[in-house]
Amino acid sequence: MLKDTFFQSKNTLNCKGKIINLSSPVVMGIMNLGPDSFYDGGKYQTKLDVIKKADQLLSEGASIIDMGAASTRPGAHIIDERTERRRLMPALDIVLENFPHAVISIDTYNAGIAKEAIEKGAHIINDISAGEIDDKMYDTIASLQVPYIIMHMKGTPETMQDNPVYDDPVKEIAYYFSKKVDQLRQRGVHDIVIDPGFGFGKNLDDNYRILNQLDYFKILEQPLLVGVSRKSMINKVLKTSPAEALNGTTVLNTVALQKGASILRVHDVKQAVETIKITRKLLDTAGQPTTI
């Protein structure tokens, strides 16, 4: 089977000299430092908690640790920069000290937090608002010259699920990203990753339509991050809770990989790594002749 090479996505990220190779998909492990995350909020309150979690994520195969201190679950309020800093920076210092070779992403929509975290030693900024919440973010990223993950969200976390409506979610989101990528390129940002934002201002059918047509985003020629881990798009179908949604997460991650995802953002790293290994084997043998 011939591989689709018409649209060629960039397959490396330069993380302050640490190169992440995306020619094979990688896993981003989540470390939520806020108290009210929808799945594991409030679990990492002590130095030992942070060390154990970072060690678990890395030992299970995460290529990136994504640290965030502001909840972005549906209905969550935008928190002030001081609160975010108080929650995030001590944990970041702990990870940097104990895991100096780790690649660290900071999940923030505040340019000030982004700048401080990168200057401390973090490598990537993951912004759920794609610069919409803080209009200084793009210039900050350009000055820092680090990879920038932009996510699509209709509204804010507090309002995003208030009856979101699209004519065609896939084409509208692709158009949104095309404008964002152009704006970042004009500022000299080289490493951009796009995240369709599953669950962020989309209804259930929107989420599955986007996943089903995920390969459409290849036209943007940027690496694609997918974050469906334990989300309501699983639980609403299976009538489960986030704690019971690991199997559903694996199913959706498999589909995402088959449709071109380069990064899986997950709570459960071991299972995501295994999903990548099996899916890659499946894709690698797809063109081999049938034997009798």
Half-sphere exposure (Cβ direction) of 64: Cα atoms closer than 13 Å = 32
CB 61 within 8 A of CB 270: yes
**Residues labelled catalytic:** 231, 265
Q: What CA–CA distance (Å, rounded) separates 110 from 252? A: 30
Contact between residue 128 and residue 73 where contact means Cβ atoms under 8 Å apart = no
Cα 229 vs. chain centroid, distance in angstroms? 10
Residue with tokens 């953002």: 265
CA distance linking residue 145 with residue 18, whole number of Å: 13
Q: What phi, psi does 275 have (nearest 5°)? A: -60, -40
User: How is residue 66 written in tokens?
Assistant: 């994504």
